[in-house]
Structure 1
C-alpha cells in the first residue's frame, strides 16, 4: 500500500527544481555519474518546471540514443555501449524527479532499464538479472556483472534516493579491474520500490544487506567479498561490515542519525515517499548496535554541509575495527569531484596493492 505523504508531492518537486536551479553543487552528483557538462549547460535554463525537466532530459536521451546507434552501426561497440548507458542515465534523471510511485515514474524507469539492457547486450561482460527475497513478501531486484577470471566481488550499495543503474560508471571501472559487481535496488529504490512495491524500513534494509551478502557468498563462494557505498548506502556498508563473510568495506560520506545531520528539507520530503522516516523504523542503521568486523576505509569531504566534520569524527570513533579515514579539504557530501580517485584507491586496497596502514598520497 502506498504511504501517506504529509506534504503534497508537488511542493517537494518544486523545492527540488528550485534547488537544482540555484545550487551548482546539486549537479556534481550527476556529472560524476556520467552526465555530460555540455548537455547540462544546453538545458539548464529549461529545468525550472517539471515539464521543462522531463522534455529536456528526454530530448537529450533521444539524441544520445541516435549517437549510440550510429556508433553501433560503425562498429564502435565500446563507445556505443557507453553512450547507451548515458541514454539510460538521462532517463534516470526523469525517473528521479518525482519521488512517488506513480505511472509516470514507472514509464521513465522502464526507459532507463531498456537502454541499460541494450548497453549490456553490447558488452563483452556477462550481465545477469536476479532477485533476492528479504522475507516472504518482499523481493529486491538486481544485476550482476561478471568479468573473466574475477579476483573478487564488490557489492555496490547505492544512495537511498538512487537506483542501481545510476552507478554504471562504478560497475564499469570495477569490472575492468577484474571484480564481479553485485548491484541490487534496496527497499525504497528503483525496481524494488516501483515494481515490487517495497518501501524502505530499517528492518528491511538490515535483511536486505544480509541477503545480498549471503547471495554473493553462495554464488561466488571461492571469491572474497567487498562492500562499496555512498551516503546512506555507505551507512549500510558500515552495517554490512559486521558480516563475517565481508573482507573489506569502503564507505564514502556515510550518513548518520538524522538528528545529527543538516538534511535539506526537500530531501527529507523525498525520502518520506519511499522510506519510513519515523524514528522506530527509519531506514538508517543503529550504529551503536553494530558489531563491526571487517576493515573499513572511510572517505569524507571537509566541506560536507550534511555531515559536519565533528559528526563524522564521532562516527569514525565508533568503528571498533581496523579502520582508516581519508579526508578531502575542498569536497562536500559524497566527495563527487574525487570519486574517480576514490574508486582507484579502493581498487588498490581490494587488490592488496596498498595496505591502508601505510600513507596514501591524496
Structure 2
C-alpha cells in the first residue's frame, strides 16, 4: 500500500527537521515507517512520546533530575510533532499538544540551565513562553524566539542551547496562532504587536537586559521576525530563517497540510478567508523599515519558500544585512544545520554584546 500523500508531503518537506530538533533518528525511522494514513500520524507519534515520558517520570521518581529533563524534553518534541499539522482533528491535536506542554514544563527545572514557564499579558489574556538564562551571567541580553506556522516552544530546545552557551538568555514564546496561543488567538500579520508584548514583559524583569533584545524567527516566523523588527524598534538585531517575502503570493503552491493549518490557526471561516489574510503577510513596503542588523538564511533546495524571497528581503532592508544562501539546503536548511545554526548564534552574540 502506498503512503497517504499527506504523510509523504510531511516527510518530503520536513524530515531533517525532526532529527535536527531532537527526535532520535531511529524513532523517526520507525514511527514514520509505521504510518500509512495521515489519520494515524498523531497517535503514532504520541505513542512514541509516551515511551520517553514514562522514562522521564521514572527518572524523576528516582531523583535523577538531569536524565528526567532529557527524557521529558524528548517526549515533548515527540508530542509536538504528533500535533504539528494535525488540524484535521483539533480535539486529538490539542490533547496531544497539552502532553507536550506538560512534559516540557516538567523538564524545565532540570535543564542546564533551567527554564521558567512565563505568562505574558496580551490582549486581556496571556501568551505563554519559556525563559532561560545563561549560568553565572548577570543581566544577560535576551533573544526572543518566534515560532512558525507549525512549530511551538516545546520544539526549540536545540536552538535555545546555542544562544545560552554564548551568554544570551532566551525567551521562546507561542504567539497568536502558534502553540498554546493558537486556541485563544488567530494568526495576525502585524506580529510587532505580540513581540511588543513580549518586550514589555521582559522590561519588567530584573534578571535580563531587555535593552539588548534580539529577535529570531523560523519558517513563517522568518516573516514574523523581520515584520516585527521593522516596527518594534526595541529589537536590536534580527535573524530570519527561510521566511516568505509574501505569503499570499505562494499560497497556491503550498502543500494542502500547510494551507489547512493556516486556515485553522487563523480562525478563518474557510480557505478563501484564510487566503485573504495570507495576502496581508507581506514584506512589500515593510522591508525598508528594517534598520537593525538582520541575518537572513535560506536554502536553494527549499520547495516551500524560494530562496529568491530571502534575496529580495536582503536587497530591500535599510540596515546592515547578512544573507546566507545554502546551495544544498532544504526548508530552513535543517539538512545542513551545521551551515548556519552556530554561525547565526555567534552573530547574534556579537550584535547584542553577550559576555559568553
Q: For the superposition of Structure 1 and Structure 2, which TM-score range results when normalised by the shorter chain?
A: 0.7 to 0.9
Q: Is 1:336–2:323 an aligned residue pair?
A: no
The more displaced of 286-295 and 227-236 is 286-295
Q: Distance in 1 between matches of 2:117 and 2:352?
A: 33
Distance of aligned partners of 1:139 and 1:284 in 2 relative to their CA distance in 1, 3 Å threshold: farther
CA distance in 1, matches of 2:343, 2:14: 25
Instruction: Indicate the SS of the match to 2:311.
Output: helix
1:39 positional shift: 0.9
**Kept after mapping to 2: 8 A contact 1:101/1:193:** no
Alignment partner, residue 93 of structure 2: 105
The aligned counterpart of 1:61 is 49
Structure 1 residue 122 displacement after superposition: 1.8
- RMSD, matched Cα: 2.7
What are the superposed Cα offsets for residues 59-99 of structure 1, whole Å, 9 maximum, x if unpaired?
A: 32222234334555676543431221011111112222422
Q: Secondary structure of 1:82's match? A: helix
Cα pair 2:229 2:238 within 8 Å, conserved: yes
The partner residue of 2:182 within 193, 197, 202 is 193
Query: 1:211 and 2:211 equivalent?
Result: no
Cα contact 2:212–2:236 (8 A) shared by 1: yes
How far is the alpha carbon of 1:45 from its aligned partner? 2.7
- Contact kept, 8 Å, 1:217 with 1:225, in 2: the verdict is no
Aligned pair count reads 336
Tell me the equivalent position of 2:235. Answer: 246
Q: For the residues of structure 2 that align with 1:88 and 1:118, how far apart are their CA atoms? A: 10
C-alpha distance in structure 1 between counterparts of 2:338 and 2:203, whole Å: 27
The 1:76–1:206 alpha-carbon spacing in structure 2 relative to 1, beyond 3 Å, is: same
216-225 or 55-64, larger mean C-alpha shift: 216-225
CA distance in 1, matches of 2:307, 2:141: 33
Matches for 1:195-344 after TM superposition, within 5 Å? 197-203=184-190, 205-219=191-205, 220-221=208-209, 223-242=211-230, 243-261=232-250, 262-275=253-266, 276=268, 277-279=274-276, 284-290=281-287, 291-344=289-342
- Give how far 1:214 is off: 2.8
Query: Distance between the aligned counterparts of 1:218 and 1:101, measured in 2?
Result: 39
Counterpart for residue 348 of structure 1 = 346
Report the TM-score when normalising by structure 1.
0.83
Q: Please state whether the residue corresponding to 1:155 is helix, strand or coil.
A: strand
Q: Distance in 2 between matches of 1:133 and 1:78?
A: 31
Corresponding residue SS for 1:352: helix
- 272-281 vs 234-243, which deviates more? 272-281
Residue in 1 that maps onto 2:111: 123
Residues 4-57 of structure 1: CA distance to partner in whole angstroms, max 9, x if unpaired?
xxxxxxxxxx6532423xx44431221211111111222223212245323422
The gaps in structure 2 that reach 5 residues or longer are 269-273
Aligned position for 1:161: 150
C-alpha spacing 1:155/1:34, structure 2 compared with 1 (3 Å)? same
The Cα of 1:281 is off from its aligned counterpart by 6.8
**1:135-188 CA distance string (max 9 Å, x none):** 34x532222112331531010011122211111211233223322111111111
CA distance in 1, matches of 2:343, 2:75: 28
1:172-218 deviation line (CA, Å, top 9, x unaligned) = 33223322111111111111123xx2111224x33112222332234
Q: Residues of 1 paired with 2:285 and 2:73: CA distance?
A: 39
Counterpart-to-counterpart distance in 2, 1:215 and 1:15: 43
TM value normalised by structure 2: 0.84
> Which stretch shifts more, 38-47 or 181-190?
38-47
Moved more, 52-61 or 25-34: 52-61
Q: Contact 1:236 / 1:285 at 8 angstroms: preserved in 2? A: no
Residues 259, 104 of structure 1: alpha-carbon distance in 2 compared, 3 angstrom cutoff: closer
- Which residue number in structure 1 is paired with residue 78 of structure 2? 90
Structure 1 spans left out of the alignment, 5+ residues: 1-13, 356-362
Question: Displacement, 1:287?
Answer: 3.6
